[in-house]
Structure 1
Amino acid sequence: MNFIGSINRQHDDSFAKTGAKIGDSLKIRLPNQYTVRTGASLSTQDTTETSTTLQVATQKGVDITFSSNELTLSLDDFSSRILEPAMSVLAANMEADALNMALDVYNSVGNIGSAITFNKALAARKMLVDNLAPGNDRTLLLNTQDNLDMVDGLKGLFQDSTEISKQYREGIVGRTAGFGTIYENTLLASQATGTAASATTYTVNGAVTVNGSSAVTVAAGATTFKKGDVFTVVGCNRVHPETKVDTGALQQFVVTADYVGGAGNLSFAPAINTTGGVQNVTAGGMPNGAALVKLGEASAVYKPSLAFHKDAFTFATADLVMPQGVDFAAREVFDGLSMRIVRQYAIASDTLPCRIDVLYGYKTLRAQLAARILSN
Structure 2
Amino acid sequence: MHAWPASEVPALPGQGRDLRIHDTATGGLVSLDPGPVARIYVCGITPYDATHLGHAATYNAFDLVQRVWLDTKRQVHYVQNVTDIDDPLLERAERDGIDWAALAEKETALFREDMTALRMLPPRQYIGAVEAIPGIVPLVERLRDAGAAYELEGDVYFSVESDPHFGEVSHLDAAAMRLLSAERGGDPDRPGKKNPLDPMLWMAAREGEPSWDGGSLGRGRPGWHIECVAIALDHLGMGFDVQGGGSDLAFPHHEMGASHAQALTGEFPMAKAYVHAGMVALHGEKMSKSKGNLVFVSQLRRDGVDPAAIRLALLAHHYRADWEWTDQVLQDALDRVGRWRAAVSRPDGPPAEALVDEIREALAADLDAPAALAAVDRWAALQNERGGTDEGAPGVVSRAVDALLGVAL
Quickly name the TM-score band, shorter chain normalised: under 0.3
- Which structure shows the bigger proportion of residues in strand conformation? 1
Q: Structure 2 length as normaliser, TM-score?
A: 0.24
Q: Rg bigger for which structure?
A: 1
- Which structure shows the bigger proportion of residues in helix conformation? 2
Greater RCO (CA < 8 Å, at least 6 residues apart): 1
